[in-house]
A and B are shown apart, each in its own frame.
Chain A
Amino acid sequence: MSEPRTLLSIDKVSKNFGRVTAVDGISLDIRENEFFALLGPSGCGKTTLLRMLAGFETPNDGRILLDGRDIARTPPNKRPVNLMFQSYALFPHMSVRANVSYGLEMERLPAAEIRSRVDAILSTTELVPFADRKPEQLSGGQKQRVALARALVKRPRLLLLDEPLGALDKKLRGAMQLELKRLQHEVGITFVIVTHDQEESLVMADRMAVLRDGKLLQCDRPHAVYEYPADRFVADFIGVMNFVPGKAVADGVMAANGTRITGKVPATLSPGAAAVASVRPERIRLFPKAQTANRIAGTVEALAYQGLDLQLHVRTALSPKPFLVRVTADAADRRPVSAGDTVELGWDAADVRIFKD
C-alpha cells in the first residue's frame, strides 16, 4: 500500500486568549480518509485547535493547509470543513429533514439533488422514520445521528467531531463508536475527533495526537502510543500503567529500596538522573518463570472481577502505590489467589518503559 497523501497540514499553529496560551506551536499532518483523534485532558487545547480547523477561531501564528491551501483565515461558511458540535446544535424550529437539508440549501443546489442526497444520508444514518420530527422529540442517540447526518450530507473534505459521544450513556457510546467507524469507512471522509476519553480514541482512531498544555506530546497509531508512550504523562494518560520511581542506571532503574528494574534506558537519560520504570498491568505475570528479568514479591490487597479478566492490587516494596495486575479469567481459574496471599510478580525487560521523572 502506498503512503496515503496528506489532506490537512497544521503548521506551527499557536493561539492565545489574552495571556493564556491555548495552543502552543502545534504541527501535525492529517492524512486523506483517516480517522484521527485529538486526545488530552480538559484544557489541553484540543477544542481550541478543532475550532481553528472549523474557522471559529483564528490562529495568532502558523498556517492550516487544506489540500495545500492556507485556510487559517477563511471564515467557517467558506471552508469545505464541517463540525459536529458537542451539544449537537440542532435547529430547534426545524424538522430533522429541514436540519439536514439546510447545509445543501446554502450551497444553492437544485431541489431534486438536495432531496436525493438528504434521503440517502437519512437512510445511511437510519433516520428515515424520524424525518418529520422536531429535535425535541428525539432521543440523545437520534439527535447525535441527526447532527452527524447534517454535517456528512455536505460531503466535506474534513469532518470535525467535538466529543461526539460525550452526552451518551456508556452502552450506547460503545455501539456508536463502532457505528462512527463504519460510517467513516462508508462515506470515505476524513474524520478528526476531539475526545478526553483515551479508550474512545484507542478504539476508533487510525492515528491519534496526545496534547497537554497546548503542546503536542505524541502523534502516532493507537498501538504505538499505547506500547511506546513518548513520556511519563502519555504513559499515565493512556491506559493503566504501573510506575516504579528511582534513579537511572546503565541497564534500568534503581528503585529506592535497592531493587533494580531491568529495561532499556533511553539515551537522553544520564545515569543517576531521576527516572521512572513502568509496565502495563497485562504484561505482569503471577508466578513467573525463574529466568524472568524482573521479579518481586508482594501481598494481594484486593481483587476485582471484571468478566474477561481479574484485576489484582498487589502491595510491593517497589512503589508507594500497589501494583495493578491483570490476569485472564482462565489463568485465575487454574491457580486461584485471594486477598492476603503472598504472590510473586514478574515481567520481562522488553515490557519495561523508562522515562525521565
Chain B
Amino acid sequence: MLPKREATPMAERSPATRRTLWLVLSLVFAFLYIPIAVLVALSFNAGGLPTAWSGFSLKWYASLAGNSAILSAALNTLIVALVSTAIATLLGTLLAIGIEMRRQYGKGLEALIFAPMIIPDIVLAIALLSFFSMLNVTMGLHTIILAHVVFNLAFVCSVVRARLKSFDWSIVEASADLGASALTTFRRVTLPVILPAVIAGALLAFTLSVDEFIIAFFTSGAGRASTTLPMQIYAMIRFGITPEINALATIVMAVSITALTLSQRLNRGVIGQ
C-alpha cells in the first residue's frame, strides 16, 4: 500500500517551528473559549464582582428565577422557538420532498429558498419590518414567529434535502403498488425513513431561533410584551453586566449546545446509513 500523503508531519519540522505552531493554536483557542469560560465561571461567583472570586454559589440562578421580566422573556423565546420550529419543520420538510421529487423544476426554486440563509440578518430584518408595516400588521410575538419561519424554513429544508439525496424513491412506488394511498405512504414509509433528518433540522431551527436577536428586535413591535430573551439581555447590559446575565447566558448556551449536539448526532446517523 502506498503511504498516505499528508502535510509535512510535525516530527519533521524543527522544534522551533513546532513550538510556534502550538503557540498560535493555543492563542486561537484561548481567544475563542476564555471569554466563555470566564462567563460561565462568573455566573457561579458568590461575590458578584467580575474581578474577584469569592466562592461558589447558585444564587444568581435563584435570582433569575425571581426576575419576572426575564421569566416572561424566556417564555416568549420558548414560544417563538417552538412555534416557528414546528411551522418551519412541517413546511421545510414538505418543500424538500417537493423539490427532490420534481428536480427538473428545482433549480430556480432552490436559489429562492436558500436566499434567507445567505442574506444578512439585518437586511432580512429591515425587509420584514417594512413588509409588516406596509401590510399594517400589528407587530408582536406572531410577527417574530413568522420572521423566524422565513430563515428556519431554509435550514430545515436544506438538512432534509441532504438526506433525500440518498433516498430510494422506488420504496414510495412500492408502497403505492402494495395498495397504500399517498398519505399512508408518507406516514408509514417516507416520514419514518427521513425522520432523523427532520428532527435534526428541527433542532437546528430551534437553536437558531432561541438566540436570534436582530430579526426579533426589528419585528417585535413596541412594548415589552413581546420581548425575547436575547432582547432582554441586551436591555439589561445597558446598565452594566450583572452576574444574573452571566447565569442567563450560561443557561441559553447550555440549551443551544445540547440541541446542536443532538442535531449533529442524528445527522451523522443519517449519513452513516
**Chain A contacts to B: CB under 8 angstroms:** 54-56, 75-78, 82-83, 85, 87, 89-93, 102-103, 106-107, 150-151, 154
Give the shortest distance, in Å, between A125 (CB) and chain B (any CB): 16
**Contact yes or no, A91 B171, CB < 8 A:** yes
From known contacts A93-B193, A106-B184, infer whether A77 and B177 are also in contact, taking CB-CB under 8 Å: yes
- B57 interfacial contact with A, CB 8 Å: no
- B179 interfacial contact with A, CB 8 Å: yes
**Contact yes or no, A77 B171, CB < 8 A:** no
For the residues of B in contact with A, the DSSP-based class is helix
**Contact yes or no, B173 A93, CB < 8 A:** no
In the bound complex, what is the Cα–Cα distance between A103 and B175 (angstroms)?
8
Residues of B127-183 at the interface with A, using a CB-CB cut-off of 8 Å, are 168, 170-171, 173-181
Give the shortest distance, in Å, between B168 (CB) and chain A (any CB): 7
- Which chain A residue shows the least CB distance to B174? A89
Q: Which residues from B are CB-within-8-Å of A87?
A: 168, 170
- B192 interfacial contact with A, CB 8 Å: yes
Give the shortest distance, in Å, between A108 (CB) and chain B (any CB): 9
**Contact yes or no, A102 B177, CB < 8 A:** no
A/B interface sample: 15 pairs, CB < 8 A: A54-B177, A76-B177, A87-B170, A89-B171, A89-B174, A90-B171, A91-B175, A92-B168, A92-B193, A102-B178, A102-B188, A103-B178, A106-B179, A107-B179, A154-B178
In the bound complex, what is the Cα–Cα distance between A150 and B189 (angstroms)?
15
Give the total number of A-B pairs whose CB atoms are below 8 A apart. Answer: 61
**Contact yes or no, B192 A93, CB < 8 A:** yes
From known contacts A93-B192, A102-B175, infer whether A77 and B170 are also in contact, taking CB-CB under 8 Å: no
**Contact yes or no, A106 B180, CB < 8 A:** yes
Residue among B173, B174, B189, B273 with max Cβ neighbours from chain A (10 Å): B174
Sort A-B residue pairs by CB-CB distance and give the 7 closest, nearest first.
Answer: A106-B179, A103-B178, A89-B174, A89-B170, A76-B176, A93-B192, A77-B176
**Chain B contacts to A: CB under 8 angstroms:** 168, 170-171, 173-181, 184, 188-189, 192-193, 273
Q: Which residues from B are CB-within-8-Å of A55?
A: 176-177
- Which chain B residue shows the least CB distance to A85? B170
In the bound complex, what is the Cα–Cα distance between A78 and B181 (angstroms)?
9
Give the shortest distance, in Å, between A66 (CB) and chain B (any CB): 15
Q: Which residues from A are CB-within-8-Å of B178?
A: 77, 82, 102-103, 106, 150-151, 154
Give the shortest distance, in Å, between A80 (CB) and chain B (any CB): 10
In the bound complex, what is the Cα–Cα distance between A89 and B174 (angstroms)?
6
Q: Which residues from A are CB-within-8-Å of B176?
A: 55-56, 75-77
Q: Which residues from B are CB-within-8-Å of A77?
A: 176-181
Q: A55-B177, A93-B192, A154-B179 are in contact. List 12 more A-B contacts (CB 8 A).
A: A56-B176, A76-B176, A82-B178, A83-B174, A83-B177, A90-B171, A91-B174, A91-B175, A92-B168, A102-B188, A150-B174, A154-B178
Q: Which residues from B are CB-within-8-Å of A78?
A: 179
Q: Which residues from B are CB-within-8-Å of A92?
A: 168, 171, 193, 273
- Which chain A residue shows the least CB distance to B184? A106
Q: Which residues from A are CB-within-8-Å of B173?
A: 56, 76, 83, 85, 89
**Contact yes or no, A82 B177, CB < 8 A:** yes
Give the shortest distance, in Å, between A26 (CB) and chain B (any CB): 22
In the bound complex, what is the Cα–Cα distance between A74 and B11 (angstroms)?
71
Residue among A77, A83, A90, A92 with max Cβ neighbours from chain B (10 Å): A77
In the bound complex, what is the Cα–Cα distance between A89 and B189 (angstroms)?
11
Q: Which residues from A are CB-within-8-Å of B273?
A: 92
Q: Which residues from A are CB-within-8-Å of B181?
A: 77
Q: Which residues from B are CB-within-8-Å of A91?
A: 171, 174-175, 189, 193
- Which chain B residue shows the least CB distance to A81? B177
Residue among B168, B184, B193 with max Cβ neighbours from chain A (10 Å): B168
In the bound complex, what is the Cα–Cα distance between A107 and B180 (angstroms)?
9
Residue among B176, B177, B192 with max Cβ neighbours from chain A (10 Å): B177
Give the shortest distance, in Å, between A127 (CB) and chain B (any CB): 17
Give the shortest distance, in Å, between A56 (CB) and chain B (any CB): 6
Give the shortest distance, in Å, between B114 (CB) and chain A (any CB): 28
In the bound complex, what is the Cα–Cα distance between A150 and B171 (angstroms)?
12
Q: Which residues from A are CB-within-8-Å of B193?
A: 91-93
Q: Which residues from B are CB-within-8-Å of A107?
A: 179
In the bound complex, what is the Cα–Cα distance between A78 and B180 (angstroms)?
9
Give the shortest distance, in Å, between A145 (CB) and chain B (any CB): 15
Q: Which residues from B are CB-within-8-Å of A75?
A: 176
Give the shortest distance, in Å, between B179 (CB) and chain A (any CB): 4
- Which chain A residue shows the least CB distance to B169? A89
Give the shortest distance, in Å, between A162 (CB) and chain B (any CB): 10
Give the shortest distance, in Å, between A194 (CB) and chain B (any CB): 15
Q: Which residues from A are CB-within-8-Å of B170?
A: 85, 87, 89
- Which chain A residue shows the least CB distance to B170? A89
Q: Which residues from B are CB-within-8-Å of A102?
A: 175, 178, 180, 188
In the bound complex, what is the Cα–Cα distance between A76 and B174 (angstroms)?
9
